[in-house]
């Protein structure tokens, strides 16, 4: 318990919940619906008063709702009750929090109580007007340039003449390809995609026919905005029909990318490949050891 600290956001659960709230707060929903969505995402902590994160769930919810201008009387009332009843202090005492840290936490909760009772919430900003578009389709295959086994960093601004900033030393020396194997929207609004990526780089830009006997690995889910799509220089090669069963039996279960959508983790983080470049410090051994399948083992060309 001591590693958690006394602050409201000292623990991993509170920090993760804050990130989730930041994402859900962008949805065009009222406070009650946002609260319901968050309760469904963490039912153990939200509903079970014996859960060690129960009070943290409701206190973080109340603090973030207040800071973000989300009105929900039930959340405020729940948080005030947990503070005034001593429930939060009791849980942390049972978990072994020291007396000095209990006093520090009590002070931070006194500040939260004052704000919830006395200060009006801020104005709510930055709400999505509609669900994010799904710009990639399942079965689509794209080629993309790599440098030392890495894709372009899509967060780096490109000048109008196509040049990168002087401090960004990436340059293309090979090619790789990605295949979209799953997609969806977290909370029906935030788009995510799961990719399979060629395990190794190729010297020339591949064609679809080049890729059938090429090994592919399954990667984590990520997001892809139109800007990132352009900066990653994704070039369509065609589309295939994939077997979800074949992928899951050999490469791992396909899990909805809710966390990636919430944290806005770009697909670029999962597009590195094994490289033969002698200047690469690692040659990506982690990917070289990963389970792989040839494209013909889990995909077929769609009928014409």
Strand order in the sheet with 293-294: 235-239, 140-146, 174-186, 190-198, 215-222, 293-294
Report if residue 84 sits inside a domain.
Answer: yes
Nearest to 199 by CA among 251, 244, 243: 251
Give residue 155's pLDDT. 92
Q: Is the pLDDT of residue 82 over 50?
A: yes
Angstrom distance (rounded) from CA 19 to CA 274: 32
Asked which of 86, 118, 150 is the last residue of a domain, the reply is 118
Same domain, 150 and 201: yes
Residue 154's CB is within 10 A of a number of other CB atoms, namely: 21
Same domain, 99 and 158: no
Contacts 24+ apart (CB under 8 A), 228-233: 228/154, 228/266, 228/267, 228/268, 229/135, 229/136, 231/152, 231/154, 231/156, 231/158, 232/144, 232/151, 232/152, 232/154, 232/267, 232/268, 232/271, 233/144, 233/145, 233/152
Residues 6+ apart with CB under 8 A from 57: 13, 17, 42, 45, 46
Same domain, 267 and 181: yes
Q: Give alpha helix (H) positions in 131-276.
A: 226-231, 244-250, 258-263
Report if residue 125 sits inside a domain.
Answer: no
Confidence of residue 53 (pLDDT cuts 50, 70, 90): very high
Same domain, 204 and 104: no
Same domain, 53 and 158: no
Same domain, 243 and 189: yes
Give residue 112's pLDDT. 95
Token reading at 224: 């892809």
Specify the 3-state DSSP secondary structure of 17: helix
Report if residue 225 sits inside a domain.
Answer: yes
Same domain, 237 and 280: yes
Mean pLDDT across 229-234: 96
Fill in the DSSP letter of residue 219. E
Query: Of 56-60, 88-92, 133-137, which gets the smallest average pLDDT?
Result: 88-92
Report if residue 123 sits inside a domain.
Answer: no
Report if residue 127 sits inside a domain.
Answer: no
Radius of gyration of the chain (CA): 24
Percent above pLDDT 70 for the chain: 96
Structure confidence by residue, pLDDT tens digits, 2-42: 345 788 998 899 999 998 899 889 888 899 999 998 998 89
Mean pLDDT across 256-266: 90
Any idea of the CA torsion for 137, 141, 147, 152, to the nearest 10 degrees? -20
Report if residue 276 sits inside a domain.
Answer: yes
How many domains are contained in the chain? 2
Quote the domain boundaries for residue 248: 140-300
Same domain, 88 and 209: no
Token look-up 């396909």 returns: 254
Give residue 282's pLDDT. 55
Report if residue 126 sits inside a domain.
Answer: no
Asked which of 65, 83, 118 is the last residue of a domain, the reply is 118
Structure confidence by residue, pLDDT tens digits, 96-140: 999 999 999 999 999 999 999 988 888 887 888 899 999 999 999
Same domain, 110 and 163: no
Give residue 1's pLDDT. 38
Report if residue 59 sits inside a domain.
Answer: yes
Cα within 13 Å of Cα(256), Cβ side: 9
Same domain, 221 and 144: yes
Same domain, 72 and 155: no
Specify the 3-state DSSP secondary structure of 286: helix
Same domain, 114 and 144: no
């Amino acid at each position: 318990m001591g590693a958690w600290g006394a602050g409201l956001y000292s623990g991993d659960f509170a920090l993760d919940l804050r990130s989730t709230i930041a994402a859900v707060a962008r949805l065009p929903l009222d406070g009650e619906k946002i609260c319901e969505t968050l309760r469904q995402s963490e039912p153990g902590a939200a509903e079970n008063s014996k859960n060690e994160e129960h009070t943290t769930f409701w206190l973080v919810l109340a603090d973030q709702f207040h800071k973000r201008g989300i009105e929900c009387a039930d959340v405020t009332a729940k948080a005030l009750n947990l503070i005034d009843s001593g429930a939060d202090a009791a849980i942390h005492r049972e978990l072994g929090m020291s007396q000095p840290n209990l006093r520090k936490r009590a002070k931070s909760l006194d500040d939260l109580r004052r704000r919830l009772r006395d200060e009006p919430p801020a104005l709510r900003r930055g709400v999505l007007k509609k669900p994010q578009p799904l710009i990639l389709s399942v079965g689509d295959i794209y080629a993309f340039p790599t440098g030392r086994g890495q894709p372009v960093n899509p967060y780096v601004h490109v000048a109008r003449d196509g040049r990168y900033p002087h401090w960004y030393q990436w340059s293309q020396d090979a090619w790789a390809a990605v295949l979209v194997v799953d997609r969806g929207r977290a909370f029906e609004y935030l788009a995510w995609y799961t990719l399979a990526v060629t395990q190794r780089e190729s010297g020339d830009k591949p064609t679809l026919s080049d890729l059938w006997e090429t090994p592919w690995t399954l990667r984590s889910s990520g997001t892809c905005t139109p800007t990132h799509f352009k900066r990653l220089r994704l070039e369509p090669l065609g589309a295939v029909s994939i077997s979800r069963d074949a992928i899951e039996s050999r490469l791992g279960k396909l899990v909805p990318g809710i966390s990636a959508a919430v944290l806005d983790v770009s697909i670029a983080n999962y597009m590195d490949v094994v490289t033969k470049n002698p200047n690469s410090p690692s040659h990506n051994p982690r990917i070289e050891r990963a389970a792989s399948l040839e494209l013909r083992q889990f995909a077929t060309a769609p009928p014409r």
